[in-house]
Amino acid sequence: QFNKYVDQKIVSPISKAYVKKVPAKIRSGISNHLEWMDTPSTIINSVLQTDIENTFLASAKFMLNGLTLGFYDLDEGDTKIKKKDFGSTLASLNFPEGPFLMVPLLGPKTTRDFTGTVLDRQNLVMLSSDSINELSLAEIPINLIDKRGKMQKTIDNIYLSADPYIKIRSYYLQNRRNEIYGEEYINNKNNNLDAEFEKLLD
């Protein structure tokens, strides 16, 4: 209820004005920059997960787009990297995802992902300069408004559902598991559903 109140009274109106008033090209540049600023986390966690290919690709793209501070994607999306964070690193080490949480201001998280978010922030603080850390902190509200603008219809539909809490928990968990496990998760889920359906037939 707290997050919903803050979203509807503050974040949502600002994000709607942002989408309406700021040209699409500028919004795209801001999104690119925010993604570029987040790439060091992907590099660090790719190393921790021994994903050598993703480490090299993310590093190369980060350095290349550093020429524009990330505002323009110089390889025009040709280099595909998989976003990684410490939550996905913990998942690769078979840490359980734990209970689902609605964290004030941060929104939906599992215990594992919340721990990962805290550790990611600590890692970047230790490895980055003070000016980069200050810039990163200043861009947190911009990132929130940018993401809210992209998810406007999805979040509004969740609020209209019979039980928004159940809806957002389901939406978050499915997307997060798919993000971490990819096709393996989808295949396992489909196989489990098939098995349950066959039991019903028996």
Alpha-carbon gap, residue 53 to 142, rounded angstroms? 31
The pLDDT of residue 119 is: 86
Tens digits of pLDDT across the chain (202 residues): 899 999 999 999 999 999 999 999 999 999 999 999 889 999 999 999 999 999 999 999 999 999 998 899 888 777 889 999 999 999 999 999 999 999 998 899 999 999 999 888 877 767 666 666 666 777 888 889 999 999 999 999 999 999 999 999 999 999 999 888 887 666 666 566 555 545 555 5
Q: Which two tokens mark 128?
A: 């980055």
150 class by beta-carbon count within 10 Å (0-12 exposed, 13-18 middle, 19+ buried): middle
pTM > 0.85: yes or no:
no
What's residue 13's pLDDT? 95
Taking each helix axis as running N to C, give the angle between helix 164-181 and helix 183-201, from 0 to 180 degrees, rounded to the nearest 10: 120
pLDDT confidence of residue 191: 62
Cβ-proximal residues to 83 (8 Å cutoff; 6+ apart), any chain: 38, 42, 179
CA proximity to 41, closest of 146, 118, 151:
118
